[in-house]
Structure 1
């Protein structure tokens, strides 16, 4: 089995490449713009948005999304963050992220799986 950190790194790099033209750099980023950027990035890698929110951390406001890629035991979780004031979208594996949302990604995905099975 390949080193999990190498897989995470390759996934983060692929997403970062797909985002190059989508990220608003110099203005306040709206919820809609963030959703568009995240949606485009996830579409490029076959990912699924789990949830998104806006948080205030360390005196700064940021948009945060959790996403999953793959299914079953191969599923990986990502955290995508973008400062509300604009800038670069940060994509990281939830397993390496220090963002408090990272710990929620797998739990939320499990909950959604249960709801889909019950429907």
Structure 2
């Protein structure tokens, strides 16, 4: 299969190419996760649902709590303009992928290959 992304980064699991801004991480049991590094458009548009689909229950609960707190404050103080401006979605769009990777690193995951390590180091996700 020809790599449509123009780099030599081939996924060894299915021999599928992964985009240059994605990283592959693995743990000692052989579990593999592939996720995007950088801004999370899915979290911006769909809120906490990407966390549910990834099985990331910790960050799901964090996002749910902050969203509920944001909208509770807007109702209590009568600031209806806050409903039109989704500040939590914008905030989590910028930080969710970072939070997802950091949580997996604390669970024992590490970069699976040199490309993933370079991408994660460049984005300051991996030290």
- Is TM-score (shorter-chain normalized) higher than 0.5? no
- Larger strand proportion of the pair: 1
- Larger helix proportion of the pair: 2
Give the number of the structure whose alpha-carbon radius of gyration is greater: 2
Q: Which of the five TM-score ranges fits, normalised by the shorter chain?
A: under 0.3
Q: TM-score, normalised by structure 1?
A: 0.26
| RCO higher in structure (CA 8 A, sep ≥6) | 2
